[in-house]
């Protein structure tokens, strides 16, 4: 034990225990959550996500195929980024060294993005509160009332025809992303492949057997 005490385990209890042999592990899991401040803009968040992924794919002690970095949740006081990766080591001390290095690099990336790490706090803004947008509030209230009068209030769920109308209308992967460009090129190649086969010019000049020219009559 860490406190240098000696623990005796009866054989009967040992037989029912699940034992983890760390020496047989070919890689070790690093699973953590990075919380950014809520003031972080969406594009700042995207920048952090991309730089995290680039750093982890470039790290010689991280299994590139296992890199998973995603905006995971709206935390109680933070925008949560879930990080799940594997360190390429069997040694527990080296594992902690790799984890430390990765976290320090992440800290630098967050700093360079202009964001910051979140922490439980209360923010007091000294200034006039402009309140809610009254005009927009009235607009959406009228829209909801129109749904109600038309008998189309979408609660507790959306109508089946509305779901059918909406299905697949959002752009995903997002427009401008690498994967979106790849999908568009695949669609283009597929559409090209569906075009009619080229006409054989020699065959096109031939007349069907049933037709005779004026010279043959």
Give this prediction's pTM: 0.64
Above 80 in pLDDT, residue 211?
A: no
Cis-peptide, bond into residue 156, ω within 30° of zero: yes
Q: Which CATH class is domain 20-113?
A: alpha beta
Three-state DSSP class for residue 50: helix
pLDDT in tens, 26-83: 889 999 999 999 999 999 999 999 999 999 999 999 999 999 999 999 999 999 999 9
User: What pLDDT is stored for residue 217 in this prediction?
Assistant: 43
C-alpha torsion angle, residues 54, 58, 64, 66 (rounded to 10): -50
Q: What's the Rg (C-alpha) of the chain? A: 31
Q: Is the pLDDT of residue 126 over 90?
A: no
Phi, psi of 31 (to 5 degrees): -130, 110
Give all strands of the β-sheet with 28-36 in edge-to-edge order.
Answer: 28-36, 79-87, 68-74
Residue that is written with structure tokens 């209308």 in the block: 169
Cα 118 to Cα 39: distance, rounded to the nearest angstrom: 10
Cβ atoms of 82 and 69 within 8 Å: the answer is yes
């Amino acid at each position: 034990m860490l406190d240098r005490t000696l623990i005796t385990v009866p054989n009967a209890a040992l037989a029912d225990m699940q034992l983890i042999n760390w020496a047989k592990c070919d890689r070790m899991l690093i699973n953590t959550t990075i919380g950014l401040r809520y003031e972080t803009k969406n594009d700042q968040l995207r920048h952090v996500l991309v730089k995290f992924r680039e750093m982890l794919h470039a790290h010689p002690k991280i299994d590139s195929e296992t890199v998973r970095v995603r905006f995971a949740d709206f935390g109680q006081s933070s925008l949560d980024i879930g990080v799940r990766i594997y360190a390429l080591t069997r040694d527990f001390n080296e594992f902690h060294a790799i984890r430390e290095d990765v976290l320090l690099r992440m800290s630098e990336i967050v700093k360079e993005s202009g964001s910051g790490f979140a922490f439980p706090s209360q923010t007091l803004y000294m200034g006039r509160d402009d309140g809610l947008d009254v005009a927009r509030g009235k607009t959406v209230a009228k829209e909801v009332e129109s749904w109600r009068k038309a008998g189309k209030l979408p609660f507790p769920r959306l109508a089946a025809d509305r779901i059918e109308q909406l299905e697949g209308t959002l752009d995903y992967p997002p427009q401008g992303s690498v994967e979106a460009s790849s999908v568009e090129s695949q669609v283009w190649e597929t559409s090209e492949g569906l075009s009619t086969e080229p006409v054989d010019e020699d065959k096109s000049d031939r007349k069907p057997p049933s037709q005779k020219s004026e010279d043959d009559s």
